[in-house]
Structures are given as C-alpha cells and as structure tokens.
C-alpha cells in the first residue's frame, strides 16, 4: 500500500499528497469551505467525510458507464488513492437549469430550464478568480488544445446524461456542476478532482429546496444536514 511522502498541493477543500509510488497520489478531503473565490470562508463539519463518500460513489457509477477516472481506491473516510494526472487548467461547467453566475452575467431568471445542456469553460486559477473563457482563448493561450477540449467536452456531456438520470431517481434535479480532467502518464484523459455538492447545484424536484453548497454560500442553514442527507441517498442508490 503506497504511503504519503509529502504535501504536493493544498487547495481550498482538499490536500494532495505524493506517495512512494510516483504515479499515485492521496487526495484528502477537508471540512474547510470557501465561496465566491475564497471571499467567504468557513467550515462544514464532516464535509470531508461526506464528500469523499459521495464522490467515490459517483466516480464508481461513472466508471461502470465507461468513463475513465483517476480514482483507484478509498483509503479511509477522508482519503482516496488516485492516479497522478497532469491537470487540464480548465474547469468544465455544465448547466441544465439557469443559476449562479449564469444568472448574474446575463440577467437570466434563476430556475429557467435551458433548452439543452450547455458547457461553459472557466480558467482554473484562484488568483484570477476562475474567469469564464472561450474555446479560442483556451487553445490560443495554450490552456488546452482542441483535441483535449473536444474530448473533455464530449465526456462532460456524457457525465451530465448519466448524472441527471441518477439524481432524478433520487427526486433531485441536477442544476449544474463542474468537472476537471487530467492526463495520466500514458496520455489517457481521466476525470479527476471530485463530484460533490461543493461543485454541483442540486435542487429537490418537489419542493425546489437547495441541497448543495449554495446553503453555505447564502447562509441558508442546515448545511451539514443537507450534505449528510445527500451522502446517505447517494451511497444507498449507487450501491458501489
Ligand atoms: P457558477 O454558477 O458559480 O459559475 O458555478 C456553476 C457550477 O459549477 C456550480 O455548481 C459550482 C461549480 N463551480 C465550482 O465548483 N468551482 C468553480 O470554480 C466554478 C467556476 C464553478
């Protein structure tokens, strides 16, 4: 079993550790929560445990559907063994229903069901505040070439299809979410990072209640309860 050797990087919600195997990292989920590009900071007690579990269930579900991911195995409540990847410095956001920055940018009404799912690209950069970016700029500025961009976009749409159907069985609408991809040492493009309520908007289909990190962003209360509820729904339904 690989053991931790050093901290490779510490982000807002996770720590990546190197291991004695150069191709494997340990991804540790923290309870720290930030919003609005780190302007708001806090703690969601138990979030690391909930998110590790939710992300594992969803990644395994996606693996079963043929999506390659970085996940190797769960080590404990907060830690996963993952393949080391060269991360694509672009965040892939899919939207099914208008919310968040889309509404702010274009004065779109929150809750508007979009005619079809749409992808938006953001630069993965805390210093820049993850700005929106277009395909041309991604390619020309060298963030990713068109081949990677097209493949990752195709995978993103496939993940959306699987996830919308999965959350629907739980009585939850998948409003939007963010994915990250990376290339392994053989050049394969793998789904990386996490899929958790930190990076997804999830609304109760019947009541419209917000169940995701918006509860933290907008001080709506019941954050821990909501994450706990999602974790138990997901682990039971995914059965993996
Ligand atoms: P947005 O409405 O703030 O652009 O976010 C859309 C979705 O993507 C939302 O579920 C949160 C997620 N997201 C992140 O998790 N991290 C990010 O840096 C961005 C830009 C979005």
Residues 186-231: pLDDT tens digits?
999 999 999 999 999 999 999 999 999 999 999 999 999 999 999 9
pLDDT at 110: 98
pLDDT confidence tier of residue 239, bands split at 50, 70 and 90: confident
Atom 10 of ligand 1 has which residue's CA nearest to it?
A: 200
Would you give the end-to-end CA distance of the chain in angstroms?
Answer: 22
- Does residue 131 sit in helix, strand or coil? coil
44 CA from centroid of ligand 1 (Å): 18
Average pLDDT of 50-69?
A: 98
pLDDT at 107: 98
Cα distance between residue 110 and residue 102, in whole Å: 9
For 105-163, the pLDDT digits (tens) are: 999 999 999 999 999 999 999 999 999 999 999 999 999 999 999 999 999 999 999 99
Is 130 close to ligand 1, i.e. is its CB under 6 Å away?
yes
Q: Which domains does the chain have, with CATH numbers?
A: 4-83 (3.30.200.20), 86-221 (3.30.470.20)
Average pLDDT of 10-18?
A: 97
* Ligand 1 atom index nearest CA of 100: 2
Cα distance between residue 21 and residue 82, in whole Å: 11
pLDDT at 7: 98
pLDDT confidence tier of residue 240, bands split at 50, 70 and 90: low
* Ligand 1 atom index nearest CA of 198: 15
Percent of the chain with pLDDT over 70: 100
- Largest Cα separation within the chain, whole Å, is 51
| Cβ-contact 149, 139 below 8 angstroms | yes
Cα distance between residue 207 and residue 237, in whole Å: 21
pLDDT at 119: 98
Average pLDDT of 52-68?
A: 98
Is 178 close to ligand 1, i.e. is its CB under 6 Å away?
yes
pLDDT confidence tier of residue 235, bands split at 50, 70 and 90: very high
Is 177 close to ligand 1, i.e. is its CB under 6 Å away?
yes
């Amino acid at each position: 079993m690989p053991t931790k050797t050093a901290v490779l990087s510490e982000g807002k919600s996770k720590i990546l550790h190197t291991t004695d195997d150069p191709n494997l990292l340990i991804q540790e989920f923290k309870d720290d929560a930030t919003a609005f590009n780190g302007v708001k900071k806090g703690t969601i007690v138990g979030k690391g445990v909930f998110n590790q579990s939710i992300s594992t269930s969803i990644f395994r579900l996606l693996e079963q559907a043929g999506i390659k991911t970085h996940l190797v195995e769960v080590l404990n409540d907060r830690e996963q063994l993952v393949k080391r990847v060269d991360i694509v410095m672009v965040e892939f956001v899919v939207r099914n229903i208008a919310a968040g920055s889309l509404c702010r940018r274009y004065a779109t009404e929150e809750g508007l069901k979009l005619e079809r799912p749409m992808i938006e690209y953001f630069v993965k950069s805390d210093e820049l505040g993850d700005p929106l970016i277009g395909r041309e700029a991604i390619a020309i500025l060298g963030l990713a070439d068109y081949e990677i961009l097209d493949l990752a976009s195709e995978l993103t749409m496939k993940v959306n299809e699987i996830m919308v159907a999965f959350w629907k069985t739980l009585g939850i609408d998948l409003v939007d979410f963010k994915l990250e991809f990376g290339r392994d040492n053989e050049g394969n493009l793998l789904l990386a990072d996490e899929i958790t309520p930190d990076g997804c908007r999830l609304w109760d289909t019947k009541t419209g209640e917000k169940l995701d990190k918006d509860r933290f962003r907008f001080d709506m209360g019941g954050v821990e309860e909501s994450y706990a509820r999602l974790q138990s729904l997901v682990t039971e339904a995914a059965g993996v």
